[in-house]
Amino acid sequence: MFTTIIIFIIILSALVFVHELGHFLVARKFGVKAEEFGIGFPPRAWGVYKSKDGRWKQVRGGRKVDDAADTIYSINWVPLGGFVKLGEDEDGGGDPNHFANKPIWQRTFMISAGVTMNIIFAAVILAIGLMIGLPQELNNVSPLAKVSDKNIQIIQVLAGSPADMAGIKIGDIIIGVDKEKIIKSEDLQKYVNERTGEELTYQIKRGNEEIAIKIIPILMEDTGAGGIGIAIAEIGIVKYPWYMAIWEGVKTTILLTWAIIAAFYNLIKGLIIGSGVSADIAGPVGIAALTGQVTKLGFIYILQFAALLSINLAIINFFPFPALDGGRVLFLIIEKIKGSPVKRELETAIHNIGFVLLMILILAVTYRDIAKYSDKFKMLWERIF
């Protein structure tokens, strides 16, 4: 459990830090001075800055710095990512290098840079992972790739199906059936179809554990063949030469980004038309629990999970909702259309309201996640006390 928490903090910190680094680097490119760039969140533990007399000075705690000629680089006590202060909500006065006085296109680039950096970070992670070897579906793998550890993985479980009732989970690996080793999906489907109505024993690998689950296949209406209500895919550890891994990492990032956008679209569409939420939503607690599951699978799965989280963070942050980067870009678009900025007080109030609504949503999802994973929290509590 403690290992899970540490890995969760490392992943989340890396993603937030990279996001803020994107804002910072593009702001520097356009000549905007950031008041502070911090690793972790306040309160400040230690920092360094260049004073107006050209000397580097240290600063500790939350002491205000009046003689800083450049950015304060700080290390803070809460180890969850980082932050950058660009003065988006301030009046720039007559300073030509203040964020508020830069052209709209430059401000748009600065605000969008965090999202862009998260996408780039995901591509880098996936490229490195594909040099080492990452789990992938084997349908369209290049013949130049090296494939190992081929197996059949469950990618969907139908609600109310025999598999669901027996406790089969997404991500389970089917080693064999009735002690017959099976690594081809066609062989598995043929074996199960020929034994519809008979009790079969599935050998399942779940993390590092191997279990046997008895299931009786039924005639599935959608396929007209015998089955237990699962969707499967042939998965293997795929490794590319470094020069191919870079392109494959970029391509995979693009495909995942599109798939996640489509999933969010269907989620929002379902909420609007009242058909409910078809996907499971996880907050910080749920993501921490998922981190624990992924950690058991190994380092390469952690890499893949971090890339997925980075893309999700980028997409969510670019929603045109107040307090998010997408919401700030929306106000810049309005400024461009009407020829003048929205009143600063009004924009700040809207962003504050949006932030409060986001916090309420996070609390609601967190409460649900705690209820869902209450047994794990009980185990952690008993270990500590």
pLDDT score, position 280: 57
Cβ neighbour number for residue 232 with a 10 Å cutoff:
17
Q: Locate tokens 């025999």: which residue?
A: 162
38, two tokens: 């911090």
pLDDT score, position 327: 94
Q: Alpha-carbon distance 157 to 199, whole Å?
A: 19
Output the pTM of the full model: 0.81
333, two tokens: 């678009």
pLDDT score, position 254: 95
Q: Alpha-carbon distance 220 to 214, whole Å?
A: 18
Nearest to 136, CA basis, from 210, 254, 209, 239: 239
List b or e across 85-107, with b for residues whose CB sees 16 or more CB atoms inside 10 angstroms: bbbbeeeeeeeeebbbbbeeebb
Whether the CB-CB separation of 177 and 201 falls below 8 Å is answered with yes
Whether the CB-CB separation of 81 and 13 falls below 8 Å is answered with yes
Q: Locate tokens 């038309």: which residue?
A: 273
pLDDT score, position 69: 80
Which residues pair with residue 220 across a beta bridge?
none
Per-residue pLDDT of the chain (385 residues; tens, 9 = 90+): 667 778 888 888 899 999 999 999 999 999 998 888 998 888 899 999 988 888 898 888 878 888 888 889 999 988 877 889 888 877 777 788 889 889 999 999 999 999 999 999 999 999 999 999 988 888 778 888 898 888 888 888 888 889 989 988 888 888 888 877 877 888 888 888 888 898 999 999 887 788 999 999 988 877 778 888 888 888 888 999 999 999 999 999 999 999 889 888 877 777 677 655 445 565 565 666 666 667 777 788 888 889 999 999 999 999 999 989 999 999 999 999 999 988 888 988 999 999 899 888 878 877 776 676 555 545 544 454 4
Q: Where are the domains of the chain?
A: 106-133+243-385, 147-239
Please tell me the CATH superfamily of domain 147-239, with its number: PDZ domain (2.30.42.10)
pLDDT score, position 285: 59
Q: Locate tokens 């870079």: which residue?
A: 246
pLDDT score, position 381: 43
pLDDT score, position 126: 95
Work out the burial of residue 369: count CB atoms within 10 Å of its CB; fewer than 13 is exposed, 13-18 middle, 19 or more buried: buried
Q: Alpha-carbon distance 167 to 170, whole Å?
A: 10
Residue type, 89: D
pLDDT score, position 362: 79
